Amino acid sequence: MRILTATCAAVLMTAVSAAADEVAPDDVTFGEYGAVETSLTGTEGDAENGAMVMKTKSMGNCISCHQVSALSDAPFHGEIGPMLDGAGDRWSEAELRGIVSNAKNTFPESMMPAYYKSSGFIRPGDGFTGKAGEEPLPPLLSAQQIEDVVAFLMTQKEE
């Protein structure tokens, strides 16, 4: 029940924000090297919320694969992808937006899931049910959550 309510709320929120200048997953323009220049929402990202998205298993779950010293209050950081300390030094905001949205446009062989993609999957499922899902699937993160994660990553500077 609580999940249902949360889902309804999420649907409403999506509908509201979609009414603004949100770019749908299929409409995102990636540059030649995978960067996305334009904000997906037009609303500035919230780094604090981005940190929460990255730590939360049911959201970005980024720390499953990446170590991030600034998020060390959450346990069990993985070692699949590169460490993200200093990501804001190494990448521009547009590059980070591109990598978080669909890293395969930047690194073709990347294992990283595309967080803002809704179609073109092999055997797309309905979440973690194991049953078939119908494309377009809801992207793994919302447009604003992507912006929030990018905002957090931009704060990751070592110098």
Partner 1 sequence: MKLKALTAAAALLVAPGLALAGPDDDTLVINGETEMVTKTEAPAHMEETGISEIISGWHFRSDETQALEMDDFDNPGMVFVDIGMEQWETVEGSAEKSCASCHDAPEDSMTGVRAVYPKWNEEAEEVRTLAQQINACREDQMGAEPYGYTSGEMANMEALISLQSRGMPVDVAIDGPAQSTWEAGKELYYTRTGQLELSCANCHENNYGNMIRADHLSQGQINGFPVYRLKNAKLNTVHARFKGCVRDTRAETYSPGSPEFVALELYVASRGNGLSVEGPSVRN
Any contact of residue 123 with partner 1 (CB under 8 A)?
yes
Q: What span, in angstroms and rounded, lies between the C-alpha atoms of 98 and 35?
A: 4
CB of 129 vs partner 1, minimal distance in Å: 7
Q: Which residues of 75-108 are buried (b: 16+ CB within 10 A; e: fewer)?
A: eebeeebeebbebbeebebbbbbbbbbbbbbbee
86/124 with CB nearer partner 1: 124
2/75 with CB nearer partner 1: 75
CB of 126 vs partner 1, minimal distance in Å: 8
Any contact of residue 85 with partner 1 (CB under 8 A)?
no
- Which residue type, as a one-letter code, is found at position 117? K
Nearest-CA neighbor of 99 among 26, 33, 23, 46? 33
Query: Rg of the chain's alpha carbons, rounded to an integer?
Result: 15
Q: What span, in angstroms and rounded, lies between the C-alpha atoms of 72 and 121?
A: 33
Query: What is the secondary structure of 100-114 as a DSSP string?
Result: HHHGGGTSTT--PPP
13, 24, 121, 158: which one binds partner 1 (CB under 8 A):
121
Any contact of residue 108 with partner 1 (CB under 8 A)?
no
18/74 with CB nearer partner 1: 74
56/92 with CB nearer partner 1: 56
CB 22 within 8 A of CB 143: yes
Sole window of 3-11, 44-52, 114-122, 148-156 interacting with partner 1 (rule: CB under 8 A): 114-122
67, 85, 86, 90: which one binds partner 1 (CB under 8 A):
67
Q: Which residues bind partner 1 (CB under 8 A)?
A: 57, 61, 63-65, 67, 75-80, 104, 111, 113-114, 117, 121-133, 137, 140
